[in-house]
Amino acid sequence: MTAARPVPPVVDTDAGPVRGVDDGRVKVWKGVRYAAAPRGELRWRAPQPPEPWTEVADATHFGAICPQPESPIPLGTGTRADEDCLFLNIWAPSQTDSGTGAKPVMVWVHGGAYIFGAASQPLYDGRTLASRGDVVVVTLNYRMGAFGFLDLTGFDGPEQFDSNLGLRDVLRALVWVRDNIAAFGGDPANVTLFGESAGAGIITTLLTAPAAAGLFTRAIAQSSPATSVYDSARAHTVARLILERVGVTSAQARSVPVEALVEASAHVFDHVPNTTPGTLAFAPTMDGDLVPDYPVKLARAGRSLPVPLLIGTNKDEAALFRWMRSPLMPIAPKTIRAMFDEIASEQPGLQLPSEAQIGSAYSGIRTRARGLHVARDVGFRMPTVWFAEGHSAAHGTAAPVHLYRFDWTTPMLRLLRLGAAHATELPYVWGNLVMGPKDITFKLGGLKPGTAVSDRMLSRWAAFAHGRPPGDEPAWPPYTTTDRATLVIDRYDEVVNDLDRGIRTAWGDEILSFR
């Protein structure tokens, strides 16, 4: 590999010049500031443009990440956390020229249950995706936990707060991309917003947010918890838990040390799903402003933004939560019953699946294993199908939907009873298959066919970003309610019509909006 060399400074029109490096394959700019530090009076306020600078800024190291509890996600060596965390990173093929041949832009929103993760995770190194996909890749940090999803609006006192800070950060980053990415070789009129898990939840939420109109031209949502959006009453309940934990009123909250807010976030993050199964502590809030209503409800009412959408889930989503012993997804029969009881009390008119319907939908699956499938479908698969159907029906060929299910796994993940668990598709999308000597994914084989799976996925995702059909081996037709074509991604890809017929029959068309 060619030794990295500096590239001429690029002028960030928001703030000032930045200098990255070129390793002969990609140009890279890291730690580019897209918003002012959200500290002091800007804590719990919408992000503001950065202060301008005149000296050339070093963009060769990642910026600080959002403060967070000890993460189960590898965040990379030398990671530093700070409230001043609103930075993004850019990878562009080395031959990219800001003057000619602007390339499609892919803007990544990371996952992590709205409390963990960072744009600088080694898994999200954009070198392979940018060079092989011939795209400009952008990854971004956003505020999380109590910093990004604490809703203090409407509390007593003179203090001013904004809601949905994490979502507003993503919007601010998209504005930065619109105004600046041409200088880095990207096409601001061809932006694909893509993400996984909580990042995908942000995307399906923004797909129904009027304020996001015009900021991206396509969207990819991988394993979106699309129904995990709460009303203000539930969000304020979480806010009170945080305030009680740190022992202050809302008027005093800006004086609370960062470490205390991180500890309170961790405590409430564990407390909420243990007391109300199936519920996240931190998630987007239906505030009537940025988020006017439940996203799946809006999509099914034809009110999603008219952009092409690639969306899907993994076959064994819930297996990761069982393996981690996480309370985030109810898997045991007792917790599933508690979740259903809560749904029934909050939405008495909602028709939940009966025991007979559950039995029919999951026939052939051992009773003890059914909880994994129910959790998968209530948390991820059915919200995805509902959103896909609504978006497709509303926009048709003008903004087609491509639905997938990721089934591929390796012998080691199968041995660990993980299979195609939550987040296992990520290395294949990014083309980063072996993440160091401690990565056990391919220890029992599977690297050769896994590389072929990655080649197809990366090519399909990049083709979609280019505005082309997403692959032809086999061709992947749009999802419509006529045939419900779904791409099953495995050792060999296959298009299956109405893959979800059994669970659709059990769950019906009603939306579990409480989530």
CA distance between the termini of the chain: 48
> With contact defined as beta carbons under 8 Å apart, do 236 and 250 qualify?
no
Catalytic residue among 83, 196, 317, 425: 317
Indicate the residue type of 303: R
The candidate with the shortest Cα–Cα distance to 71, out of 322, 331, 265, is: 265
Provide the token pair at 144.
Answer: 């999380």
DSSP 381: I
CA–chain centroid gap for 306, Å, is: 20
The candidate with the shortest Cα–Cα distance to 182, out of 86, 101, 61, is: 101
Q: DSSP string of 245-279?
A: HHT--GGGGGGS-HHHHHHHHHHHHHHHHHHSTT-
Distance (Å, whole) CA 13 – CA 27: 19
E strand spans, 48-115? 57-58, 87-93, 103-109
Distance (Å, whole) CA 482 – CA 392: 11
Beta strands at 103-109 and 136-140: parallel, antiparallel or unpaired: parallel
> With contact defined as beta carbons under 8 Å apart, do 201 and 224 qualify?
yes
Provide the token pair at 95.
Answer: 């031959």
The candidate with the shortest Cα–Cα distance to 421, out of 360, 347, 331, is: 331
Q: What are phi and psi of 64, to 5 degrees?
A: -65, 155
Q: How many CB atoms lie within 10 A of CB 414?
A: 14
Catalytic residue among 163, 197, 223, 224: 197
> With contact defined as beta carbons under 8 Å apart, do 505 and 361 qualify?
yes
Is 422 a residue of the active site? yes
Place of tokens 């409480």: 514
> With contact defined as beta carbons under 8 Å apart, do 207 and 309 qualify?
yes
> With contact defined as beta carbons under 8 Å apart, do 92 and 136 qualify?
yes
> With contact defined as beta carbons under 8 Å apart, do 224 and 383 qualify?
yes
Is 317 a residue of the active site? yes
Provide the token pair at 66.
Answer: 């959002």
Q: Which element (helix H / strand E) includes 496?
A: strand 494-497
- Cis amide bond preceding 474, omega within 30: yes
Catalytic residue among 110, 236, 391, 422: 422
Distance (Å, whole) CA 476 – CA 202: 25
Please identify every residue annotated as catalytic. 197, 317, 422
